[in-house]
Structure 1
Amino acid sequence: MQIEQHSFLVTGGASGLGESVVRAIIAQGGNVVIADLNGSAGQALVDELGDSARFVRCDVTRGDEVQAAVDMAEKAFGGLQGSVNCAGIAVVQKLLDRDNNPADLESFSRGVNINLVGSFNVARLVAASIAKRVAHDSHAGATVENNIDQGVIINTASIAAFDGQVGQASYASSKAGVVGLTLPLARELARHGIRVMTIAPGVFATPMMQSIPEKAREQLEAGVPYPKRLGNPNEFAKLVTHIIDNAYLNGEVIRLDGAIRMV
């Protein structure tokens, strides 16, 4: 699927990995609806990028708010061809604290709800929009040929899905759930010509990572075999645009991590 003149919903698109994806899609002639909780950053990005971008304040766990973002894409750009879900949080807590008190269940659930349920919520509403468009085109007499890309849904997991560390129970399990969504959704949506892919990034130079102490960041960089540095958000965006373009990528999870394996 080409990006030019096609439209995509990017959640978490006001900063970090999502912002890089937004910029990459628009640079290649596409349109983007930015869905994010950060209204000031999202609107500032739209003001910078112009008519090819729209902003909707959106909590990915809320069906009505995600639907509003989908509706915005349909109204502003005539429909959606895909989504890139970058919205997520990192919950850090051990199962037991130093005094053997149990972890906070609400914190665990919040991470799973945003990272996993939020990914499913975005996927279901974007897929419905694309499938209805395809069905409408078919009923109107347009020929929907076999093996022609109709849409692509890209989710963001993490290497923590495979290499979860102590204190990452919520984060790792929620991201493992995103990995688990990939193949079943790809198989189900194949009849609509919609592909489903997941990227599992390693340690990237995002605002979240910049907030940690310099010594800890240096240790993470040292753990990456090559290149021995944090990933650049534009490298994540390059993979997203390649997935959109490459129609044979479907139902798979791609690690983007410089060969790091967390221990």
Structure 2
Amino acid sequence: MKQLIKLCEKDQREPLFKTQGCREQLPLIQSQFKADKLNLPIKSDLEFFYAQFLYRCILSKQAFETVFFKACYEMNDYWSSLNYLEKKRLINIEIDALKAALPYVMRNHKQVFIPMFDERMNDIYRDEMVLFELKQYAQLRYEYASLITQKSLSADVIAAGFTELELIGEAEEQCFCFCKLNHRLYVLSNGQASYSLSLSQCAEPSELAELLPYLIQADERGALQLILSRQWLSEKALRKGEKLLSKWQR
């Protein structure tokens, strides 16, 4: 796919880190990471998307914590007179209202609202926020870096909207996703970037599903023919693509 990648790369609109969306989000993410002592590099496109994923998880985490402490404050007058089950029931009423507004993935038949954490941690945030009454759990508000278990992107978190990426499809341990910020199709393998194609004139990402069979089979000619027919490149790049295709067909 080297020649196709090279052709598309020359048609790039602008690098991801120069897009308005990235420039607006990156300072917020970096500020949050600094406050929470998360020392993670954000230098590549994939590192930015992973940082987006973590940041969205952190926002959900904070939302759960805010609901708990707000509910405790509002019930302060009689909180100490309640037993554990009564406290849990009242807190979960508030938590259930929050969950309806948050993105989540399904894992082991359970809703996972903070997929950067493991199943046990998600069980606590989803169903046992009353435990935050205890000091060792309340500390999770600020000390949680060592508990992050998901170290790379996965198709389920992309599909659920935890990043700027839009999932196009999956096949043979590959994940295909598109970013509208820089009009680029990313091919991930086991959570790592395999390669990407800059498709500057692609307006509707769902159309890219047609391209996947060619990419899966590494059919460079077929992929180029489809890209040319759909006019997913600029006029200049399309002309270069036609010349390249003619060269291959000789």
TM category (shorter chain) comes to under 0.3
**TM-score w.r.t. structure 2 length?**
0.27
Task: Give the structure with the higher percent helix.
Answer: 2
